[in-house]
Amino acid sequence: MTAPVRELLGVDIPVVAFSHSRAVVAAVSLAGGLGMFGAARFDPDELDEHLGWIDSQVGGRPYGVDVVMAASHVGGDTDDKAALRAALPPENRAFVARLRERFAIPPLSEDRRGREHLTGTHARARRQVEVALAHPARLLVSALGPLPQDVARRAHSSGRLVGGLCGSAEQARAHVEAGADLVVAQGTEAGGHTGELATLVLVPEVVDAVVPVPVLAAGGIACGRQMAAALALGAAGVWTGSMWLVTEESDVDPVVREKLLAARARDAVRSRCSTGKPVRQLRTPWVEAWEEPDAPRPLPMPLQELLVYDAVKAIAEHRVVALMGTPVGQVVGSLHHVRAARDVLHEMIDECERTLDALCETPMP
């Protein structure tokens, strides 16, 4: 069942590991899976440095790069941060100022100000694409919308594969129409930007919608039993993310790691407070404050990120422990141990194989 996607990606194991940590990406690719480096938080020069490091580590093993090219956001393709900041409503600015006072968040260091990410904007993502195409990344994936057809054509002409994350069958078809070689059906259980349909419902819908294009299942997958369930739904492999946050190679802050290890599934909540689009993330007082009656409606992408950037970065810089968090999926409730990424990957595959073997040997009731 999984042989076609293994051949397509050039991997031994049909598991994609999304991470912002380059060490995780390299470790998974070296262990036989496909490490997927999340580019969203990095400027082009930073991305180039990280991909160069991955190149030096993986010995030619395949890896991928994930960019965020939103199908809908305000401001068009402008990179004019001053103009976008001017569009921030006074009431939203005032609310953030009240939160900073309420939670005693110190000012962000001067040298870190003005470096906001314009996540989702095509102008920024295209610069990241240029960097990715200058490295031997095997797969280029877009979140929140299909890659523009000219980008997909360039990737294909250089021998790369392209794919996209989706939360509905309609979005899956749009990715395929734009040239995607594979589609990632991401259920609402997933960390980060995510939709409303559960993985159990979404995956078979997407599989049927885009056949014969291979589909990877994502959302709520962190063990072999969950992987086996995804394969039973018709997926050709799985896309994973949250489970790599607590590996030895992860660069997650130790404070956040301890929070993740202690968290329950219901502590991964969906909120628009980070980017303006729904992001499943660790529950913190900062996140909860945006659900209070006096909280303004979060702004659309990329305005919300501009609005909260200084405060969110200051929380991390000054280690305001109570407020520190990260995007994470509902599988956080099952993450209790720190292990090497290679061990996590191979234990997942072993359990998946045992589960499938047991199902084949078990007679129907």
pLDDT score at 146: 95
Asked if the bond preceding 212 is cis, omega within 30° of 0, the reply is yes
Q: CA 285 → CA 99, 194, 265, 305, distances in Å?
A: 10, 21, 17, 18
Distance CA 341, CA 349 (A): 13
CA angle 275, 299, 329 (to 5 degrees): 30
HSE toward the beta carbon, residue 232, CA cutoff 13 A: 16
Q: What is the DSSP letter of 364?
A: P
Distance CA 99, CA 285 (A): 10
Contact 145, 121 (CB under 8 A): no
pLDDT score at 363: 74
Q: Which residues contact 41 (CB under 8 A, 6 or more apart)?
A: 20, 117, 119
pLDDT score at 75: 65
Closest CA to 252 of 305, 304, 191: 191
pLDDT score at 221: 98
Residues 321/325/330/332 CA torsion (nearest 10 deg):
-50
Helix/strand/coil for 192: strand
pTM, to two decimals? 0.95
Closest CA to 104 of 284, 325, 291, 315: 315
Buried/exposed 67-103: b ≥16 CB within 10 Å, e otherwise: bbbbeebbbeeeeebeebeeeeeeebeebbeebbeeb
pLDDT score at 77: 65
pLDDT score at 103: 98
Helix/strand/coil for 280: strand
Bridging pattern class, strands 34-38 and 279-282: unpaired
Fold assignment, 3-76+118-245+339-354: TIM Barrel (3.20.20)
pLDDT score at 327: 98
Pair of tokens at residue 8? 């397509």
| DSSP letters for 8-62 | HHT-SS-EEEEES-HHHHHHHHHTTSEEEEE-TT--HHHHHHHHHHHHHHHTT--
Q: Which residues contact 262 (CB under 8 A, 6 or more apart)?
A: none
pLDDT score at 140: 98
pLDDT by residue for the chain (365 residues), tens digit each?
567 899 999 999 999 999 999 999 999 999 999 999 999 999 999 999 999 999 999 999 999 999 999 887 776 666 778 888 999 999 999 999 999 999 999 999 988 887 777 888 888 899 999 999 999 999 999 999 999 999 999 999 999 999 999 999 999 999 999 999 999 999 999 999 999 999 999 999 999 999 999 999 999 999 999 999 999 999 999 999 999 999 999 999 999 999 999 999 999 999 999 999 999 999 999 999 999 999 999 999 999 999 999 999 999 999 999 999 999 999 999 999 999 999 999 999 999 999 999 998 877 66
Distance CA 195, CA 313 (A): 26
